[in-house]
């Protein structure tokens, strides 16, 4: 008996991936390579959909559409329709006791099967199912071959999804930045602009909430001008002293707090924990080198703020400070204009 050639499938599938072939071609070629190498009836590869939690067929070979896509009231509980937590092998279908699934396999001409999870970065993201027309054992070498070959193809899809996600996120950043900039240029209504800022940041970054706090020059406290996603109890927890609450902001420095449980720069750490906040990003609002307030972004148990997210928040903070200064200049000019009219005794049109 000649040894099984495990190398050629890796070369063929790898070449197809590097040639930039579409996912359908890569996954169908992978399934075909599996059944040829192991002399099987068929194989399918399924994976979590790009958006959503449902499982979709990425590639298959040797199986009917009825078997792949057939509907059943019990399908949600079947071995071949859910991502397995561990490898599951049935060398002889007569020993398999899930009747609905067994009947479907019998009609398909299947006498033995195995289901393997595909784990990438400690997460099960896909599965591969192997089907034989005759009872057979699946050796450890065979299962390892399948796991590694399919894992290679799945990894290429995940990489494409990651790149696509990064591009979409950059587009979302740009759209949001343009929308906020457009609102600033089109309106002197600072309340509407700030409302747009806190809402957009919360949505785009997928965080718990966001608040713009402005400095009261007399008290040196920071008062909440606009917020989104945060409770009133949290916002009204007490006066925010600009000198005590992340004082680096006063010097124009961005403050990133990765753990509110342990960071000493927080004025109200217990209230943060009660609100469900774990991480905090505080962007100083500066106008011609003068501190006028902060843009603070609150996150729960999610990942740390990335450099791209921080850069995005800084850019929005600059736009926010620009909008506030524009509104203040307009209000000051409007007041001075009204005073000028009063000084000259103008009482309005006589018409």
242 within 8 A of 215, measured Cβ to Cβ: yes
Name the residue among 83, 130, 127, 84 with its Cα closest to residue 105: 130
- Kindly state the tokens that stand for 44: 């399918």
Confidence of residue 73 (pLDDT cuts 50, 70, 90): low
Residues 284 and 191 placed together within one structural domain of the fold: yes
Region 306-314: what's the mean pLDDT?
92
Region 133-139: what's the mean pLDDT?
94
Residue 182 domain-assigned? no
Tell me: pLDDT of 351 over 50. no
Domain of residue 317 covers 187-343
Residue 350 domain-assigned? no
What digits encode the pLDDT tens for the residues 238-284?
Answer: 889 888 878 899 989 999 999 998 888 888 889 999 999 999 999 99
For residue 276, the model assigns a pLDDT of: 93
Region 319-341: what's the mean pLDDT?
70
Confidence of residue 336 (pLDDT cuts 50, 70, 90): low
Residues 29 and 69 placed together within one structural domain of the fold: yes
Q: Which of 49-63, 84-98, 176-190 is the most confident on average?
A: 84-98
Question: What are the angstrom distances between the C-alpha of 89 and each of 241, 290, 340?
Answer: 64, 69, 89
Residues 217 and 99 placed together within one structural domain of the fold: no
Name the residue among 144, 149, 136 with its Cα closest to residue 34: 149
Residue 180 domain-assigned? no
Residues 21 and 142 placed together within one structural domain of the fold: yes
Residues 276 and 130 placed together within one structural domain of the fold: no
- Kindly state the tokens that stand for 63: 């199986």
Residue 203 domain-assigned? yes
For residue 328, the model assigns a pLDDT of: 72
Tell me: pLDDT of 228 over 90. yes
Residue 136 domain-assigned? yes
Tell me: pLDDT of 124 over 60. yes
Residues 157 and 258 placed together within one structural domain of the fold: no
Residues 159 and 23 placed together within one structural domain of the fold: yes
Residues 35 and 116 placed together within one structural domain of the fold: yes
Region 77-84: what's the mean pLDDT?
78
What digits encode the pLDDT tens for the residues 170-217?
Answer: 888 888 888 888 877 777 678 888 898 999 899 999 999 999 999 988
Residues 124 and 12 placed together within one structural domain of the fold: yes
For residue 74, the model assigns a pLDDT of: 52
Phi, psi (degrees; rounded to nearest 5) at 213? -115, 135
| First-last CA distance in the chain | 109
The share of the chain scoring above pLDDT 90, in percent, equals 42
Residues 129 and 204 placed together within one structural domain of the fold: no
Name the residue among 282, 281, 279, 311 with its Cα closest to residue 294: 282
Q: In what order do the strands lie in the sheet with 255-257?
A: 240-241, 221-228, 209-216, 290-299, 279-287, 255-257
- Give the number of domains in the chain: 2
Tell me: pLDDT of 76 over 70. no
Residue 173 domain-assigned? no
CATH of residue 145's domain is 3.30.450.40
Residues 15 and 117 placed together within one structural domain of the fold: yes
For residue 101, the model assigns a pLDDT of: 79
Residue 332 domain-assigned? yes
Residue 168 domain-assigned? no
Residues 154 and 256 placed together within one structural domain of the fold: no
The dihedral built from the CA positions of residue 300, 306, 312 and 317, taken in this order, carries a sign that is positive
């Amino acid at each position: 008996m000649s040894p099984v050639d495990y190398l050629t499938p890796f070369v063929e599938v790898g070449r197809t991936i590097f040639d930039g072939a579409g996912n359908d071609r890569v996954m169908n070629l992978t399934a075909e390579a599996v059944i040829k190498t192991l002399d099987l009836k068929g194989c399918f590869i399924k994976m979590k959909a790009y958006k959503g939690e449902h499982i979709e067929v990425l590639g298959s070979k040797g199986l009917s559409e009825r078997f792949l896509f057939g509907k059943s009231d019990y399908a949600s509980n079947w071995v071949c329709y859910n991502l397995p937590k561990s490898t599951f092998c049935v060398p002889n279908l007569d020993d398999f006791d899930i009747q609905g699934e067994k009947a479907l396999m019998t009609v398909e001409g299947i006498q033995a099967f195995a289901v393997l999870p595909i784990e990438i970065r400690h997460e099960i993201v896909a599965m591969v199912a192997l089907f034989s027309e005759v009872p057979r054992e699946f050796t450890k070498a065979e299962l390892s071959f399948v796991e590694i070959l399919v894992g290679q193809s799945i990894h290429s899809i995940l990489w494409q999804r990651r790149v696509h996600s990064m591009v979409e996120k950059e587009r979302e950043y740009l759209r949001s930045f343009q929308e906020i900039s457009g609102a600033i240029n089109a309106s002197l209504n600072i309340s509407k602009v700030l409302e747009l800022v806190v809402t957009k940041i919360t949505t785009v970054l997928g965080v718990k909430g966001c608040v713009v706090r402005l400095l009261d020059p007399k008290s040196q406290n920071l008062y909440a001008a606009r917020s989104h996603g945060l409770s009133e109890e949290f916002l009204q927890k007490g006066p925010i002293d600009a000198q005590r609450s992340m004082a680096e902001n006063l010097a124009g420095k961005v403050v990133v707090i990765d753990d509110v449980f342990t960071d000493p720069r927080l004025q109200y750490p217990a209230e943060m924990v009660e609100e469900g906040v774990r991480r905090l990003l505080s962007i100083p609002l500066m106008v011609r080198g003068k501190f006028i307030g902060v843009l603070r972004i609150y996150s729960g148990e999610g990942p740390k703020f990335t450099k791209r997210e921080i850069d995005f928040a800084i850019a929005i903070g600059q736009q926010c400070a620009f909008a506030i200064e524009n509104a203040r200049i307009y209000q000051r000019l409007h007041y001075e204009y009204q005073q000028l009219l009063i000084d000259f005794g103008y009482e309005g049109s006589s018409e």
